[in-house]
C-alpha cells in the first residue's frame, strides 16, 4: 500500500489529502517513465500536439552531468548540476531537454536554457518534461512557463525554477 492509498483510507479527501501528500515527497512516490503512455498504451501528446516518447525524454548519464559539488564552476559555488554541452545531445536543438537529479533542463532558444524541478506542484510526481515551449506534467496536463509560473488551473502554484549559466561548453544550474 502506498502513502496515497493509506491516507485516503484514513479519510483524507480533496484539499486536505493534497496538503498532506505535498508536504513531503518521498522517492517511492515518484515515477519517471522512459516512454509516457496513456491508459490505452498509446504515447501521450503534449500541449502542442507533440508526442512524448523515449527520444524526447532523455535521461542524463553520469559522464554528461554531475551533481552538486563544492567547487567553483563558471563563478558559481556549489552548483546543483553541471552539464557538458558537448556530450549532452538532448540539448543540441531548440526544444530538446534532459532530466538529471530531479531537474529538467531545456534548450528554449538558440542561445538560452531553462531549468525547473521535475516534481509537479499539482501532485508530487516526477513527471515534468519540456514540450513545445512549456514545461508540461505528463501525469495530468499541468503546464508551466520557463520561469516556473503556472499556465493553467492545474499549475496554479507553479514549480521551482533554477538559474542557469553557460559559457557555450558547460552549463551550470544553480539556485
Distance of CA 134 to the CA centre of its chain: 11
Task: Tell the burial category of 68 from Cβ atoms under 10 Å away from its Cβ (0-12, 13-18, 19+).
Answer: middle
Hunting for cell 501521450 — which residue is that?
A: 44
**Please, where are the H alpha helices in the chain?**
3-9, 14-22
Distance of CA 88 to the CA centre of its chain: 16
Instruction: Give the pLDDT confidence score for residue 35 in this predicted structure.
Output: 38
DSSP state of 57: S
End-to-end CA distance of the chain: 35
Task: Tell the burial category of 75 from Cβ atoms under 10 Å away from its Cβ (0-12, 13-18, 19+).
Answer: exposed
**The dihedral sign for the CA sequence 4, 123, 27, 51:** positive
| Residue 7 confidence class, pLDDT cut points 50, 70, 90 | low
Put simply, whether the predicted model's pTM sits higher than 0.75 gets the answer no
**CA pair distance 93, 157, nearest whole angstrom:** 29
b/e per residue, 37-50, with b = 16+ CB within 10 A?
A: eeeeeeebebbeeb
Residue-wise pLDDT for 129-146, tens only, equals 999 899 999 998 999 999
**CA pair distance 17, 127, nearest whole angstrom:** 20
**The dihedral sign for the CA sequence 113, 119, 123, 129:** positive
Residue-wise pLDDT for 12-53, tens only, equals 676 665 665 555 544 444 433 333 444 444 555 555 555 554
Instruction: Give the pLDDT confidence score for residue 53 in this predicted structure.
Output: 41
Averaged confidence pLDDT in the chain? 76
Amino acid at each position: 500500500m502506498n502513502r496515497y492509498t493509506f491516507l485516503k483510507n484514513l479519510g483524507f479527501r480533496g484539499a486536505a489529502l493534497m496538503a498532506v501528500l505535498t508536504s513531503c515527497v518521498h522517492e517511492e512516490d515518484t515515477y519517471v517513465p522512459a516512454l509516457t503512455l496513456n491508459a490505452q498504451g498509446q504515447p501521450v501528446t503534449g500541449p502542442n500536439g507533440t508526442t512524448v516518447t523515449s527520444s524526447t525524454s532523455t535521461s542524463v548519464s553520469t559522464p554528461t552531468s554531475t551533481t552538486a559539488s563544492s567547487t567553483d564552476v563558471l563563478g558559481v559555488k556549489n552548483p546543483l548540476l553541471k552539464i557538458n554541452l558537448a556530450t549532452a545531445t538532448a540539448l543540441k536543438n531548440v526544444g530538446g531537454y534532459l532530466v538529471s537529479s530531479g531537474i529538467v533542463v531545456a534548450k528554449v532558444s538558440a542561445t538560452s536554457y531553462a531549468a525547473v524541478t521535475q516534481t509537479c506542484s499539482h501532485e508530487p510526481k516526477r513527471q515534468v518534461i519540456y514540450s513545445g515551449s512549456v514545461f508540461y506534467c505528463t501525469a495530468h496536463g499541468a503546464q508551466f512557463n520557463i520561469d516556473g509560473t503556472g499556465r493553467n488551473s492545474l499549475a496554479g502554484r507553479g514549480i521551482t525554477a533554477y538559474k542557469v549559466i553557460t559559457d557555450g561548453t558547460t552549463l551550470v544550474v544553480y539556485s
